[in-house]
Amino acid sequence: MRDDGIKTIRAGGEPQSSGPANLTAPSNALESFAASIRSPNLKAVAAHWVQAKGTKAMPSWEQLSPARIAPQLPQIWAYRYNWELDKFSGRLAGEKIRQIFGKNIHGLSLDEIFPANAVGWTHHLFHRVVQEPALYRSTGRIFSHLNRWGIGERIILPLSSDGIEGDGILGATCYHYSHPSTLGETGMETETEQWFCLRPERFGAD
């Protein structure tokens, strides 16, 4: 099974270049994405996203049902995207995510949430999920940009008010913090990311 794209992220959090920014995805992107997820909680979030979107390319925020993913809510986070301003703002952060950030992200811009050296690549990451649109998964060293890294898995999925053009993202992070960032752990100094493009026809021709 071949994934849309795989990159390795340095311990500091910035993605390393590993080829073209946009790669043609397999026709079964949803199936490949679901199969790649390890965490049962993240699998449940992804399954609800698929159920909520129905026949559309992606669901709206309003189509998501908190009751259906109640056990996963502490690990969930979401952002709105304004195309005109090219800005993301915090929409929701579950209890575990708020504990990591030390704040409620609701209504905050990226530069109010993340350290200055992480704002650029975070915007690029979120923007790609919305613009293509694409599904994203990463594993390994999580939250290193907050100097509170641990081992985990993260997924990000696009949201759309009209089911066509993305205007937000839904994320979920399974995270285990076991030691301060000053301590190393063999094989866990990096974060590996995978991309699954939902509309490969947009990028199939130059």
**Domains of the chain with bracketed CATH:** 5-202 (3.30.450.20)
Number of residues that this document lists for the chain: 206
For the chain, strand residue ranges (E) read 5-9, 76-82, 87-93, 134-142, 150-159, 168-176, 191-197
Whether residue 54 contacts residue 196, with contact meaning beta carbons closer than 8 Å, is answered with no
pLDDT one-digit tens code per residue, 147-163: 556 688 999 999 999 99
pLDDT one-digit tens code per residue, 136-149: 999 887 655 555 56
Residue 27 confidence class, pLDDT cut points 50, 70, 90: low
Model confidence, pTM: 0.80
